[in-house]
Amino acid sequence: MALSACSTESGGSGQTNAGAEQQQSGWTEATAKQLRDAIGKRAEHGLDRLPLDKGIDSLDQAALTKAALTYGEALAHGATDPTKLFEVYTLPRPDPDLKPGLAQALKDGKVGDWLESLAPRDDGYRKLSQTYLSLRGKQGQPGQATPVIADSGEPLKPGSTDPRIPAIAQQLVVFDYLDRAQAQGQSYSPAMVAAVKRMQADYGINPDGLIGSDAIEILNLSDADRARAIAVNLERLRWLEREPPATRIDVNIATARLRYWRDGKVVDERKVIVGEPDTETPQLGSPIFQLVANPTWTVPRSIQEKEIARKGAGYLRENNMVWKDGWIVQQPGPRNSLGLVKFDMKNEHAIYLHDTPAKQVFNEVQRQRSHGCVRVFDALGFAEMLARDNGVLDEWNKARATGEESFVKLPKEIPVRLLYQTAVLDADGTAIVRADPYGWNDKVAKALGFDLGTMRRARSGGVDIGP
Q: How much of the chain exceeds pLDDT 90, in percent?
A: 72
**Is residue 166 situated within a structural domain?**
no
Q: What is the pLDDT at residue 7? A: 45
Residue 15, pLDDT > 50, answer no
| SS3 call for 259 | strand
Place 138 in a pLDDT band, splitting at 50, 70 and 90. Answer: very low
Please tell me which residue, 366 or 28, carries the higher pLDDT value: 28
Please tell me which residue, 15 or 77, carries the higher pLDDT value: 77
Residue 281, pLDDT > 50, answer yes
**How confident is the model over 280-304, as a mean pLDDT?**
95
Q: What is the pLDDT at residue 337? A: 95
User: Which CATH number goes with the domain that contains 265?
Assistant: 2.40.440.10
444-465 pLDDT, tens digit per residue, is 999 999 987 666 676 666 667 7
**How confident is the model over 51-62, as a mean pLDDT?**
92
**How confident is the model over 213-241, as a mean pLDDT?**
92
Cα–Cα distance, 429 to 201 (Å, whole number) = 30
**How confident is the model over 98-115, as a mean pLDDT?**
97
| 114 and 260, same domain (yes or no) | no
**Is residue 206 situated within a structural domain?**
no
Q: Let me know how many helices (H) and strands (E) the chain has, helices first.
A: 15, 15
CA atoms in the 13 A half-sphere facing the CB of 5: 23
Question: How many other CB atoms sit within 10 Å of the CB of residue 237?
Answer: 20
Place 146 in a pLDDT band, splitting at 50, 70 and 90. Answer: low
| Strand bridging mode 297-298 / 327-330 | antiparallel
**How confident is the model over 230-234, as a mean pLDDT?**
97
**Identity of the residue numbered 1:** M
| 116 and 257, same domain (yes or no) | no
**Is residue 209 situated within a structural domain?**
no
Q: What is the pLDDT at residue 9? A: 42
Residue 204, pLDDT > 50, answer yes
Please tell me which residue, 23 or 349, carries the higher pLDDT value: 349
Could you tell me the residue range of the domain that residue 354 belongs to? 244-296+332-421
Mean pLDDT of the chain: 89
Q: What is the pLDDT at residue 153? A: 82
* Least-confidence region, from 15-24, 200-209, 215-224, 342-351: 15-24
Place 422 in a pLDDT band, splitting at 50, 70 and 90. Answer: very high
Place 203 in a pLDDT band, splitting at 50, 70 and 90. Answer: confident
Q: How much of the chain exceeds pLDDT 70, in percent?
A: 90
* Least-confidence region, from 36-45, 74-83, 153-162, 305-314: 305-314
pTM above 0.85, yes or no: yes
| Cα 320-357-294 angle, rounded to 5 deg | 60
**Is residue 17 situated within a structural domain?**
yes
**Residue where one domain finishes, among candidates 121, 142, 162:** 121
* Least-confidence region, from 22-26, 157-161, 324-328, 398-402: 22-26
**Is residue 92 situated within a structural domain?**
yes
Report the number of distinct structural domains present in the chain: 2
Cβ atoms of 434 and 218 closer than 8 Å: no
Cβ atoms of 436 and 254 closer than 8 Å: yes
Cβ atoms of 340 and 293 closer than 8 Å: yes
Q: What is the pLDDT at residue 454? A: 64
**How confident is the model over 292-314, as a mean pLDDT?**
89
Q: Which residues contact 197 (CB under 8 A, 6 or more apart)?
A: 207, 208, 209
**Is residue 256 situated within a structural domain?**
yes
Cβ atoms of 463 and 371 closer than 8 Å: yes
**Is residue 231 situated within a structural domain?**
no
| 274 and 416, same domain (yes or no) | yes
- C-alpha distances (whole Å) from 411 to each of 306, 350, 357 are 39, 22, 28
Residue 224, pLDDT > 90, answer no
Catalytic positions are 354, 373
**How confident is the model over 423-437, as a mean pLDDT?**
87
**Is residue 255 situated within a structural domain?**
yes
Q: Give how far the C-alpha of residue 272 lies from the chain's centroid of Cα atoms, to the nearest Å.
A: 12
**How confident is the model over 340-351, as a mean pLDDT?**
96
